[in-house]
Amino acid sequence: MTNTLDPHHAVYVGSFDPPTLGHLDIVERGASIYSKITVGIGINPDKKPLFSAAERQQMLQELLSAFPNVEVKCFQGLAVNFVRECGGGVMLRGLRTLTDVEAEFTMSLANRALASDIETVFLMASEKYTHISSSLIKQIAQLGGDVAAEKLKVFVPAQVVEPLLEKFASKTSH
């Protein structure tokens, strides 16, 4: 456990199921601001993700390999505890919509009560990514038919399209 939290080390947590272009945009922009970014893939045992934690970690490591100051880890438990374990002084969050603002505001107040020495910093999503959500992506992958692969490239990195479509192909073949 690190005693001193580094204000130049930001930790960006989420489920990343699947990783989206919006996620990559936040990491890329964060990596230009902070000396180190840790991407934390949250593992919630009560949820049934599309991709396993190991699959998400592998995808993100490949997608973010061009950034030498970015690492990818998995974690369970409270995000603020993970940020502290990483030694980060900042929790980085992305905002897309006003609904996100309200939810993130509530979460940041709770995180502040749990760990007052960790700052939460918000980056607004780039305009072209504000409409992206994992539920939308999963619907396109599942119901998009022959055009799904082409349409998904607007929402997820090209390397994610095929694994995403394979997940739904395997679900329908059972």
Quick check: is 65 catalytic? Answer: no
User: Which one from 9, 23, 36, 56 is the annotated catalytic residue?
Assistant: 23
SS3 of 43-103: the string is CCCCCCCCCCHHHHHHHHHHHCCCCCCEEEEEECCCHHHHHHHHCEEEEEEEECCHHHHHH
Question: Is 47 labeled as catalytic in the residue annotation?
Answer: yes
**d(C-alpha 83, C-alpha 73), whole Å:** 11
Q: How does pLDDT run across 65-112, given as a tens digit for each residue?
A: 999 999 999 999 999 999 999 999 999 999 998 888 999 999 999 999
* pLDDT for 171: 65
- Across the range 130-139, mean pLDDT stands at 91
Burial 38-49 (b: 16+ CB within 10 A, else e): bbbbbeeeeeeb
Catalytic residue among 73, 96, 138, 151: 96
Residue 133 falls in the annotated catalytic set = no
DSSP β-ladder status, 88-95 and 36-42: unpaired
Structure tokens of 17? Answer: 């199921």
Catalytic residue, from 47, 48, 116, 135: name it: 47
First to last CA, the chain: 45
2 pLDDT above the threshold of 50: no
Residue in 36, 30, 46, 32 with CA at minimum distance from that of residue 8 = 36
User: Tens of pLDDT along 32-54?
Assistant: 999 999 999 999 888 899 999 99
Confidence of residue 159 (pLDDT cuts 50, 70, 90): very high
Catalytic residue (one of 15, 84, 93, 134): 134
- Look at residue 130 and tell me whether its pLDDT is greater than 70: yes
CA atoms of 166 and 172, how far apart (whole Å): 10
151 carries an active-site annotation: no
Q: Name the average pLDDT for the chain.
A: 93
